[in-house]
Chain A
Amino acid sequence: MAVLSYLEAIRETLRQELRRDSRIIIYGEDVGVRGGVFRVTEGLQKEFGEDRIIDSPLAEAAIVGTAIGAAINGLRPVPEIQFADFIFPAMNQIVQEAARIRYRSNGTFAVPIVIRAPYGGGVHGALYHSQSVEAFFAHVPGLKVVVPATPYDAKGLLAAAIQDEDPVLYFEHKAAYRSLKGEVPEERYLIPIGQADRKREGTDVSVITYGLMVSYALKAADELEKEGISVEVVDLRTVRPLDLSAIIETARKTGKVLIVHEDNLTGGIGGEVSALIAEHALFDLDAPIMRLAGPDVPAMPYSAPLEHAFMVTPEKIRDKARELAKF
């Protein structure tokens, strides 16, 4: 089986999907000739032509808004927002249009689009090239929000998102693009949206997380194993819809839950996961639920010490999980 980087897995999935379904088009800023600023779409315009891999004007609301129209008239658009931080000019089109069109038309219109966007920090991207924006969208009924953690998942989740009949936001961690590698089957496969994945079995503490933080949590778990602490790592894979049964199952199993995300703490996914555990598994807990997240500052600063202080790291996860295990 081929070993691919997270980025290559996404590119090869796009290629496979473009070959499979001629209704799929990709567009966004720099996605054509340049192949995207991260090169995710490199080579695709050459293979599929300028009609399907389109360099669009630099205007996010138009990118998403035209994708909505194109989807309604028979295409399967997969627009790219160059950085998740740039998605806000398109907020109204995503939240009030894409997410609501099925509902407001009583099920007579649908918007099958996948909005891809690189998110996350630790790459000296500063305030406007580092953000985690998933919680804004996870709040919105009508949207699905996918945050893959591995090359394998990136492929199966992207194929599922493209096949989905609803608008899907697909967030790719830019620090994962080249640092994460893994085996990816060549044939097409789908990972159902809304199903979490237990990435590591453990008995003492459950770490519930998603995206890049999954690999960080696995590193932390390896270290804690040496100390005799057994950590279970549950990858949510999608933050809307959340996999309630997987969350409850791990909470009941270990009785100690640490929720980790890079996005800032207040109003983040951790709050929602905590509430679900409190509602469904309170009396199975042996310790208060803990959260480890980005701090409540507006966004990630540029300079290295500041950036490092913001980022959730494997070490911070290890320390927090140890604290929880000893509670």
Chain B
Amino acid sequence: MSDNGLTPELMLDMYYHMALARAVDDRMWILNRQGRAPVVYTSNGHEAAQVGSAFALNRGEDWICPYYRDLALVLAYGMTPREVMLHLLGRADDPNSGGRQMPAHWGHAKLHILTGGSVVATQDVHAAGLALASKVLKDGRVSVAYFGEGSTSQGEFHEALNFAAVHKLPVIFFNENNGYAISVPARKQMVVQDVAARAQGYGMPGVIVDGNDPIKVYEVVKEAADRARRGEGPTLVEAKTYRFVPHSSDDDDRAYRSREEVAEAKKRDPLTLFEAYLKKAEILTDDKLKAMQQQIKDVVNDATEYAEKAALPDPATLTDHVYGSM
């Protein structure tokens, strides 16, 4: 084990959040297929990249700017399964948006999870701006933008990297490259092989990491965060991973990728790999795993029941929060 600050307890906690995210994700799909949740966006397959990166940050203090794929990230950052389910079902107490935004549009002011829209890469410049304030105010915070590889075709991705590099901002650009923007493969987004290669054009380090290995992701993000806090500027991290299920509950991935390809990718399921690693290191035992699985089942059941019973927004609140003052 390398000297990275990850204790067995922290690694178990990482595993717990990865498994929790997978279970919440599975439950959301079931709710969708039962007609109880209109739409689901998945993090299935991305858990190691998201949880590994979250654990490398000062959670609740550093800013994260997620995109719709980041269920495991926000859970690891402190959002509760109950809060996730309130969001999925559009309940009044949804802390992300009070039932205003469609699912997977995360945002939690108290946890320093920035609210996001649906146009991709908009959060990249927000992350640079959060970091600009950190630089001016010297608050010691790092900001992290999360995004898919498809969104690196957007102008704002490039504008954000350039702005951050010129002003040496404490920000990390964290790409979750699963090879597909819905149906469009990465080779139709860019000619270069790696998103990380683009860092060179902006004069910052571009680091490729195995996105199915939470420890490696943790180490890379920790280093990038340390670098940012030292005032040495931004880093572009590319976590190579795979999405095991369709883009959303309205997508059918059979139209654009073979079952063989998906089956091959699943051999490197981050959950299975990390479980084996922890068992081999004797951090996780069968008994512990069983207890954890039961705990997760209970938590997910509780979250589902809690959210389904929770009140819907009052239509009279439709016009609230347009302005702070008039």
A, B in one complex: yes
Q: Does A218 contact B (CB under 8 A)?
A: no
Choose the segment among B1-9, B162-170, B186-194, B263-271 that binds chain A (4+ C-beta atoms closer than 8 Å): B162-170
Among residues of B, the one whose C-beta sits closest to the C-beta of A27 is: B132
Contact indicator B325/A165 (Cβ below 8 Å): yes
- B109 cross-chain contacts in A, Cβ below 8 A: 105, 108-109
Interface residue? B136 (CB, 8 A): yes
For residue A303, CB closer than 8 A to chain B, the reply is no
User: A129 at the A/B interface (Cβ < 8 Å)?
Assistant: no
Query: Are B156 and A69 in touch, CB under 8 angstroms?
Result: no
Q: Which of B94, B117, B130, B321 contacts A73 (CB 8 A)?
A: B130
Binary contact readout A89-108 vs B (1 if CB under 8 angstroms, 0 otherwise): 10011001100111111111
Q: A70 contacts which of B101, B133, B155 (Cβ < 8 Å)? A: B133
**Chain A residues closer than 8 Å to B99, beta-carbon distance:** 106
Q: Is B304 an interface residue (CB 8 A)?
A: no
Alpha-carbon distance A64/B133, docked complex (angstroms)? 14
B322 on interface, CB distance cutoff 8 Å: yes
Given known A57-B163, A62-B159, A166-B324, contact A104–B126 (CB-CB < 8 A): no
Alpha-carbon distance between A75 and B96 when the two chains are bound, in angstroms: 23
B-side contacts of A101, CB under 8 Å: 115
- B 143-185 to A, binary, CB cutoff 8 A, 1 in contact else 0: 1000000000001100110110011000000000000000000
- Judge if A185 is at the interface, Cβ distance under 8 Å: no
Q: Does B246 contact A (CB under 8 A)?
A: no
CB distance from A174 to the nearest CB of B (A): 26
In the complex where A104-B115, A164-B325 touch, is A57 in contact with B129 (Cβ < 8 A)? Answer: no
Q: Give the complex CA separation of A23 and B169 in angstroms.
A: 17
Task: Count how many chain B residues have C-beta atoms less than 8 Å from C-beta atoms of the other chain.
Answer: 52
B63 contacts the other chain (Cβ, under 8 Å)? yes
> Contact at B127–A108, with CB atoms within 8 Å?
no
A160 to chain B, nearest CB (A): 11
A92 touches B119 (CB 8 A): yes
B66 at the interface (CB under 8 A from A): no
User: What chain A residues lie within 8 Å of B117 (beta carbons)?
Assistant: 96-97, 100, 104
In the bound assembly, the distance between CA atoms of A196 and B321 in angstroms comes to 24
> CB < 8 Å: which of A67, A166, A241 contacts B129?
A67
A66 contacts B by Cβ under 8 Å: yes
Contact of A106 among B65, B132, B141, B321 (CB under 8 A): B321
Residue of A with least CB distance to B99: A106
A97-B122 contact in complex given A62-B128, A164-B325, C-beta closer than 8 Å? yes
- Whether A110 and B324, one on each chain, are in contact in the complex, defined by CB atoms closer than 8 angstroms, is yes
Residues of A within 8 A of B143 (CB): 69, 73
Smallest CB–CB gap between B105 and chain A, Å? Answer: 7
Q: How far is the CB of B107 from chain A (nearest CB, A)?
A: 5
B163 near A73: Cβ-Cβ < 8 Å: no
> Which residue of chain B lies nearest to A23 when distances are taken between CB atoms in the complex?
B137
Q: Which of B98, B107, B125, B326 contacts A93 (CB 8 A)?
A: B125
Look across to chain B and name the residue whose beta carbon is closest to the beta carbon of A193.
Answer: B326
Establish whether residues B115 and A105, one from each chain, have CB atoms under 8 Å apart when the complex forms: yes
Q: With A62-B162, A102-B323, A103-B321 in contact, is A75–B107 under 8 Å at CB?
A: no
Flag if B139 contacts A102 (CB, 8 Å). no
Q: Kindly state whether residue A25 has any CB partner on chain B within 8 Å.
A: yes
Q: Which are the 9 A-B pairs with shortest beta-carbon distances? A: A69-B129, A65-B125, A106-B98, A66-B129, A165-B324, A73-B133, A62-B159, A107-B321, A69-B126
| 13 residue pairs bridging A and B, Cβ less than 8 Å apart | A62-B125, A62-B160, A62-B162, A65-B125, A66-B128, A69-B133, A70-B133, A93-B125, A104-B100, A104-B115, A108-B108, A110-B324, A144-B323
Q: A62-B162, A73-B63, A73-B143 are in contact. List 12 more A-B contacts (CB 8 A).
A: A61-B155, A65-B122, A65-B129, A66-B160, A66-B163, A73-B134, A73-B137, A105-B107, A106-B97, A108-B107, A164-B325, A165-B324
